[in-house]
Structure 1
Amino acid sequence: MTVTVFTKPQCQQCEATKRRLNERGITFETVDLSENPETLAQLVHAGYRQAPVVITPDASWSGYRPDLIDELAEALTPSRTSLAAVGNQA
């Protein structure tokens, strides 16, 4: 699964988002919007007005959203029930 974080320099919310993603073990790509003006224009046209912008296969948001990062991490973690079922089959 690809997670992309669109950031800008000296952005505390961007750094907090990347830190939280790392803490939750989520692999992501970073795009610096100051080096990609066309991408910035596309995101603004799409209605985003705040950095960072996080794009996942199933969701997107802007700003620091630890609640959504936690939901993403939970969705990526196999459920304990599934793991127990696999263990019982062995």
Structure 2
Amino acid sequence: MTINAVTVYTTGPSCQRCKLTKDVLTRKGVTFVEVDIRKQPAAREYVVDELGYTEAPVVVVDEHDHWSGFRPDHIDRIARS
């Protein structure tokens, strides 16, 4: 499986789990795009209404592979892909 770009939905710079997630993704060489859901209502709707998450960060690899929170196990998994 080839992963193009991961999307990390965050709640801004004060979110420590968001920062940890982005730092580990960067260290592991995983390319990602950050979307601050506080500034983008449509992104917040997607994360909450469509994906069902209420905790940041939300990491979306593809429509079937996504999670919420700081999950180094998932980051390791996608970094190996």
- TM-score, normalised on structure 2? 0.87
- Alpha-carbon offset, residue 31 of structure 1: 0.4
| Unpaired runs of at least 5, structure 1 | 76-90
Deviations 1:3-25 (A, max 9, x none): 00000121000000000000101
Query: Does the alignment pair 1:49 with 2:51?
Result: no
Identity %: 43
Q: Answer with 1 or 2: which has the greater Rg.
A: 1
Matched residue of 1:48: which SS?
coil
Aligned residues: 75
Of structures 1 and 2, the one with the larger relative CO (CA 8 A, separation 6+) is: 2
Q: Given the alignment, which residue of 67, 74, 83 partners 2:73?
A: 67
Question: In the alignment, residue 53 of structure 2 is paired with which amino acid?
Answer: Y
Give the superposed CA RMSD: 1.0
- More strand as a share of residues: 2
Gaps of 5+ in 2: none
- SS of residue in 1 equivalent to 2:53: coil
